Amino acid sequence: MALIDAFIRIPLPSGRVLAAHIWRPEGADRVPAILDLSPYRAFDVFRALEEPLLPLWAEQGYAVLAVDTAGAGGSTGLLLDEYEASEIDDAVAVVAWAAAQPWCDGAVGLSGLSWAAFTALRAAGRAPPALKAMVLGGVSEDGWTTDIHNLGGAPYSAIADWAGVMLMFNALPPDPKQFGEGWRMAWLRRLEANRPFLTTWLGHPERDRYWRERAAPSSAIPLMLYSGWADKYSTSVLRIAAAWRGPVRTVIGPWEHAVPNVAARGPRIGLLQEALRWWDKWLKGRETGVLDEPALRLWVAEPDRKGGLERGAWRGMAWPMAQANTATFRFGSGAMVLKPNPRAPGALVADLYEDIPGPWATTGALTTEPAPIDLEIVAAPVLRCRLTSDRAGGLLVARLLDIAPDGQAVRMTTGALNLAFHDGSGLAAPPKAGEPLDIALPFQATAWRLKAGHRLGLLLAAEGWPTLWPGRAGATLTLARESLELGVPHASGDMTDAHAFPPADTAGNTGVGPLKWLDPVREVLPRSDLAGVAAHAPPASAYHLAATGADYQLASRFELALRDEGRQAIAVKVYRAAFERPDWSIRIMTRLEVRSTPRAFDISWTVQASEGGTTIFDREGRATVPRSVA
- Same domain for 448 and 535: no
Looking at residue 412, which CATH number applies to its domain? 2.60.120.260
When pLDDT is cut at 50, 70 and 90, the band that residue 136 belongs to is very high
Look up the pTM and report it. Answer: 0.95
Taking Cα atoms as reference points, which of 612, 379, 577, 386 lies closest to residue 495? 379
For the cut 80, the answer to whether the pLDDT of residue 350 exceeds it is no
Asked, for residue 211, whether it belongs to a domain, the answer is: no
Distances (CA, A) of 143 to 100, 115, 117, 149: 32, 11, 12, 7
- Same domain for 422 and 484: yes
- Same domain for 610 and 574: yes
pLDDT digits (tens, 9 = 90+) for 418-471: 999 998 889 988 888 999 999 999 999 999 999 999 999 999 999 998 899 988
For the cut 90, the answer to whether the pLDDT of residue 563 exceeds it is no
On whether the CB atoms of residues 481 and 269 are closer than 8 A, the answer is: no
The C-alpha atoms of residue 511 and residue 149 are separated, in whole angstroms, by 34
Distances (CA, A) of 236 to 12, 42, 145: 32, 26, 8
Higher pLDDT, 137 or 352: 137
Asked, for residue 412, whether it belongs to a domain, the answer is: yes
The torsion angles phi and psi of 148, rounded to 5 degrees, stand at -85, 5
- Same domain for 612 and 519: yes
pLDDT digits (tens, 9 = 90+) for 508-538: 777 789 999 999 889 988 877 776 677 788 8
- Same domain for 477 and 341: yes
Higher pLDDT, 170 or 331: 170
- Same domain for 460 and 356: yes
Task: Express as a percent the part of the chain with pLDDT over 70.
Answer: 97
Average pLDDT of the residues in 247-251: 97
Asked, for residue 596, whether it belongs to a domain, the answer is: yes
Average pLDDT of the residues in 602-617: 97
Structural domain ending residue among the three candidates 491, 524, 551: 491
For the cut 90, the answer to whether the pLDDT of residue 3 exceeds it is no
Reduce the DSSP state of residue 65 to 3 states and report it.
strand
pLDDT digits (tens, 9 = 90+) for 175-212: 999 999 999 999 999 999 999 999 999 999 999 999 99
Asked, for residue 147, whether it belongs to a domain, the answer is: no
For the cut 80, the answer to whether the pLDDT of residue 606 exceeds it is yes
Name every residue whose Cβ is closer than 8 Å to that of residue 173 and which is 6 or more positions away in sequence. 183, 184, 186, 187, 190, 579, 586, 609, 611
- Same domain for 486 and 536: no
- Same domain for 475 and 599: no
Domain range spanning residue 427? 326-491
- Same domain for 333 and 439: yes
Distances (CA, A) of 439 to 111, 245, 286, 559, 628: 38, 30, 49, 33, 22
Structural domain ending residue among the three candidates 457, 491, 525: 491
- Same domain for 335 and 480: yes
Q: Mean pLDDT over all residues of the chain? A: 92
DSSP state of 116: H
Count of domains for the chain: 2
Name which of 240-254, 270-284, 309-323 the model is least confident about.
Answer: 309-323
Asked, for residue 565, whether it belongs to a domain, the answer is: yes
Higher pLDDT, 344 or 44: 44
Asked, for residue 359, whether it belongs to a domain, the answer is: yes
- Same domain for 481 and 359: yes
Asked, for residue 566, whether it belongs to a domain, the answer is: yes
Asked, for residue 610, whether it belongs to a domain, the answer is: yes
Structural domain ending residue among the three candidates 436, 456, 491: 491
- Same domain for 342 and 419: yes
Average pLDDT of the residues in 71-84: 96
